[in-house]
């Protein structure tokens, strides 16, 4: 900062620091929590609710919780000890909650499957990891067959029927399969709904609107119970496979609408520019339109994926016992009566970890792909 003295000379003066109210914690609080009277009132109300809820929650989950190893809720139900979370039940039933009725000697196959899956996903998504092309080939070309062999069994390893699958393992199988398979189907449906061919457009619209017009529980019931009634005599699909197909089709309808919203946000000039370069329909969409549309649709697509992961709990209605079902059935065990709240708390924590992780990665992806151009 320059200053003119009495002699008319310019003397360089050091820049003054910004006001204390514009930087640091005080500035953040003023701008985010107390920027107006309604915001200040809501902030104070939120602090009061935290004051009321958090201490009781900490006491129940930690201070008065029961952690010792045991085979029943005798320790948790002692009258002279304040009521708290019975994490003893979680320790005793942890294998059931994670793997369902998968044979304990074979659970290494489940662990290996998901270690390979998360390693491949990390290699593909984490920036800085080399050989992205090979990670993608493994994840989409090799891993599905390897996972099928490891989980189901076959040559060299014992066969484990899908009726024994359950717990968190089943949630991850359903969610992963649904996410991976529904995205390309949803993209094709979105393109079909915007197609200039009447038959393609009509079929796409009919499928999307019909599936989105019924709840997932109805789709699962039809896939598991009603669909086999229309099959020829002697032909029967695996029950879990029918559930997976129902989840994929249901998710694809919602992904299609998310992608269609992204396609509608693309300026007409992008299509005209691609056609001016001589690109045909498929190259125009693959190289110019879809990359931009998917970037715009990332929040809504990830929201659908999170909803799909949470909706995997609905497979309980068709006899597939996943994490929530295993938690509730554990709490109904005569040895662990009265531990329902603990089971629900544990299930909530597990689901929050996975859903929060997907949400944070989607935000990172948005920031990474943001071009700075506003439409």
Q: What is the pLDDT of residues 216-237, one digit of tens each?
A: 999 998 888 888 777 777 777 7
Report CA 138 to chain centroid distance, whole Å. 22
Q: Which of 182, 185, 189, 250 is nearest to 218 (CA)?
A: 250
pLDDT for 368 equals 82
Residue 44 pLDDT class (50, 70, 90 cuts): very high
Q: In the chain, pLDDT over 90 holds for what percent of residues?
A: 64
pLDDT for 90 equals 93
The helix/strand/coil state of 107 is helix
Q: What angle do CA 72, 78, 82 make, to 5 degrees?
A: 120
Summarize pLDDT for 85-116 with one digit per residue, the tens: 999 999 999 999 999 999 999 999 999 999 99
CB 336 within 8 A of CB 77: no
Residue 375 pLDDT class (50, 70, 90 cuts): very low
160-332+339-369 has which CATH code?
Answer: 1.10.3720.10
| 340: its two tokens | 């329902």
pLDDT above 90 for 205:
yes
pLDDT above 80 for 6:
no
CA separation for the pair 124, 132 (Å, rounded): 5
Q: What is the mean pLDDT of residues 249-254?
A: 95
Report CA 317 to chain centroid distance, whole Å. 21
Report CA 266 to chain centroid distance, whole Å. 26
pLDDT for 187 equals 95
pLDDT above 90 for 353:
yes
Q: What is the mean pLDDT of residues 199-211?
A: 95
CB 299 within 8 A of CB 362: yes
Q: Work out the mean pLDDT of the chain and round it to a whole number.
A: 88
CA separation for the pair 259, 291 (Å, rounded): 11
**Domain definitions of the chain by residue range:** 19-63, 160-332+339-369
Residue tagged 């390893």 (tokens): 157
Q: Which residues contact 366 (CB under 8 A, 6 or more apart)?
A: 298, 299
Q: Which helix (H) or strand (E) holds 323?
A: helix 323-331
């Amino acid at each position: 900062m320059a200053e003119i003295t009495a002699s008319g000379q310019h003397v360089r003066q050091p820049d003054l620091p910004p006001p204390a109210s514009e930087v640091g914690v005080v500035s953040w609080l003023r701008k985010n929590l107390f920027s107006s009277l309604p915001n200040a009132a809501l902030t104070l109300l939120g602090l009061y609710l935290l004051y009321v809820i958090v201490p009781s929650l900490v006491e129940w989950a930690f201070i008065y919780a029961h952690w010792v190893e045991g085979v029943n809720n005798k320790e948790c139900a002692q009258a002279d000890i304040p009521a708290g979370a019975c994490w003893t039940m979680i320790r005793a039933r942890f294998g059931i909650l994670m793997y369902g009725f998968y044979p304990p000697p074979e659970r290494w196959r489940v662990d290996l499957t998901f270690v390979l899956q998360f390693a491949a996903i990390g290699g593909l998504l984490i920036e800085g990891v080399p050989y992205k092309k090979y990670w993608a080939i493994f994840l989409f070309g090799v891993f599905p067959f390897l996972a099928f062999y490891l989980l189901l069994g076959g040559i060299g390893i014992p066969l484990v029927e899908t009726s024994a699958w359950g717990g968190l393992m089943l949630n991850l199988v359903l969610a992963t399969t649904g996410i991976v398979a529904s995205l390309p189907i949803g993209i094709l449906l979105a393109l079909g709904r915007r197609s200039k061919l009447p038959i393609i457009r009509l079929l796409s619209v009919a499928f999307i609107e019909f599936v989105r017009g019924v709840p997932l529980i109805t789709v699962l019931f039809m896939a598991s119970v009603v669909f086999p009634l229309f099959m020829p005599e002697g032909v029967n699909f695996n029950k879990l496979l029918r559930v997976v197909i129902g989840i994929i089709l249901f998710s694809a309808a919602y992904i299609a609408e998310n992608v269609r919203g992204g396609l509608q946000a693309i300026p007409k000039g992008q299509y005209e520019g691609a056609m001016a370069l001589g690109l045909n329909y498929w190259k125009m969409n693959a190289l110019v339109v879809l990359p931009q549309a998917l970037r715009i649709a990332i929040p809504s697509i990830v929201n659908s994926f999170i909803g799909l992961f949470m909706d995997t709990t609905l497979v309980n209605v068709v006899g597939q016992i996943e994490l929530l079902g295993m938690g509730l059935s554990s709490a109904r065990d005569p040895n662990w009566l009265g531990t329902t709240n603990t089971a629900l708390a544990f299930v909530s924590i597990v689901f929050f970890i996975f859903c929060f992780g997907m949400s944070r990665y989607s935000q990172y992806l948005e920031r990474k792909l943001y071009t700075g151009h506003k439409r």
